[in-house]
Structure 1
Amino acid sequence: MNKVYPSAAAALDGVVRDGQLLAVGGFGLCGIPEALIAALRDTGRKNLSVISNNAGVDGFGLGQLLETRQIKKMISSYVGENKEFERQYLAGELELEFTPQGTLAEKLRAGGAGIPAFFTKTGVGTLVAEGKETREFDGQVYVMERALLPEVSLVKAHKADRSGNLVFRRTARNFNPAVAMAGKVTIVEVEEIVPTGSIDPDDVHLPGIYVHRIVLNATPEKRIEKRTLRETTAKAGA
């Protein structure tokens, strides 16, 4: 099965539809699938519900989809510095399901592990617990949270082999693995694709069984890093 697609647009083709529940990896501006988000914007798909820790900033990351009004609901833990996110929410133009950050990560992980729900103390006695089942264990009250199962997950990784085994880089390893696990269809944007078997099994952060489509995108940051390294090496040689 060929998992490698020639472009982000091709990787999204046939799987993204209006009104879907999507999950997008990353944390703030770190480890976000920039090319896939831009390609999603260009599809014009609308009424999307998006699971993500936040929504980037104005005009960047998921902020692009807020500007084009393609998102109807955000499931996130942080509004951050995105003024358009804040404006749409306060104006009643955007639905928002606030979820504590650790709970959001666990809802995704549980979805990927086939666990439909779990109990946590986080949010007990607050607005987070309103309308949710609670139960007492060993004298402590816990609230039940349902797992998240996005129809499509968009993920950023550093490296993949052609079977979809992934290596993440630094803090891009926060939400991306859980987002990848939870998606019914997971599309991954990577900076490098290597032959299957060339990644040491001990270095695989997420196995390819969770990955359905891969697209190569050597990001500007990566190109800048390479250029800086060449310049530094040249200066050192001089």
Structure 2
Amino acid sequence: MNKIYPSAAAALQGIVSDGALLAVGGFGLCGIPEALIAALRDTGVKNLTVISNNAGVDGFGLGQLLETRQIKKMISSYVGENKEFERQYLAGELELEFTPQGTLAEKLRAGGAGIPAFYTRTGVGTLVAEGKELREFDGHTYVMERALNPELSLVKAWKADKSGNLLFRRTARNFNPAVAMAGKLTVVEVEEIVETGSIDPDSVHLAGIYVHRIVHNPHPEKRIEKRTVTVKGE
């Protein structure tokens, strides 16, 4: 089966619709599928529920979809430096399901492993646990969290072979493997595509069985923020 598509737009054709539940890999600006997010914006789909650790910054990555009002709800652990995210939430224009970061990662991992729910002590006694089942184990209270199974996952990797076996690079690995595993359909944006068999099996970070479509983006946008550092005494 050919998993390689000529463009991000082609890879999304026919698989995304209004009201869909999506998961997007990355951590703010690190390891986000930039071309796929831009292509998703251009489809014009609306009322999306997006699972992602955060929405990055204004006008970049998922921030683009907030500006075009294509996201109805975010399931995330961090608002970050995205002012539009904050504004829409405080104005009641955007639904937000805050989830502790470790719990969010486990909800995705559980979804990919076929585990419907799990118990954790994180969030007990807070708003996070409201309306959820509580159980006692060995004298401690745990809250039950349901797994996440998005209809579509958008992922960024460094390298893929033609069968979809993936390698991630450094911190860009972050949420991407768990997002890829959880999705019923997973589309991956990569910087390099190589022949099947050319990646040492011991080096594969995620098996191709989780990957359905691949897009080649050899020149992802580089976003570098300049910072002024003041040295004491100067």
1:108 maps to what in 2? 108
1:136 maps to what in 2? 136
2:84 maps to what in 1? 84
1:120 maps to what in 2? 120
User: Structure 2: which amino acid aligns with 1:147?
Assistant: A
1:154 aligns with 2:169: no
How big is the shift at 1:173? Answer: 1.1
Please give the alpha-carbon distance, in whole angstroms, between the structure 2 residues aligned to 1:181 and 1:195. Answer: 22
How big is the shift at 1:220? Answer: 4.1
Please give the alpha-carbon distance, in whole angstroms, between the structure 2 residues aligned to 1:174 and 1:42. Answer: 26
1:57 maps to what in 2? 57
1:212 maps to what in 2? 212
1:16 maps to what in 2? 16
Q: TM-score, normalised by structure 1?
A: 0.92
1:93 maps to what in 2? 93
How big is the shift at 1:221? Answer: 5.5
CA RMSD of aligned residues (A): 1.1
Q: Equivalent residue of 1:172, what SS? A: helix
How big is the shift at 1:219? Answer: 2.3
2:232 maps to what in 1? none
How big is the shift at 1:172? Answer: 1.2
1:233 maps to what in 2? none
Please give the alpha-carbon distance, in whole angstroms, between the structure 1 residues aligned to 2:162 and 2:218. Answer: 16
1:89-130 Cα distance to aligned partner (Å, 9 max, x none): 000000000000000000000000000000000000000000
Q: Equivalent residue of 2:178, what SS? A: helix
| Structure with higher helix content | 1
Please give the alpha-carbon distance, in whole angstroms, between the structure 2 residues aligned to 1:99 and 1:220. Answer: 29
Please give the alpha-carbon distance, in whole angstroms, between the structure 1 residues aligned to 2:79 and 2:201. Answer: 37
Contiguous gaps of at least 5 residues in structure 1: 223-238
Q: Equivalent residue of 1:125, what SS? A: coil
Question: Within 5 A, what are the aligned runs for 1:27-38?
Answer: 27-38=27-38
Please give the alpha-carbon distance, in whole angstroms, between the structure 1 residues aligned to 2:146 and 2:62. Answer: 24
Please give the alpha-carbon distance, in whole angstroms, between the structure 2 residues aligned to 1:185 and 1:71. Answer: 19
User: Structure 2: which amino acid aligns with 1:128?
Assistant: V
User: Structure 2: which amino acid aligns with 1:80?
Assistant: G
Please give the alpha-carbon distance, in whole angstroms, between the structure 2 residues aligned to 1:59 and 1:158. Answer: 23
Please give the alpha-carbon distance, in whole angstroms, between the structure 1 residues aligned to 2:220 and 2:169. Answer: 16
1:41 aligns with 2:41: yes
Contiguous gaps of at least 5 residues in structure 2: 223-234
Q: TM-score, normalised by structure 2?
A: 0.94
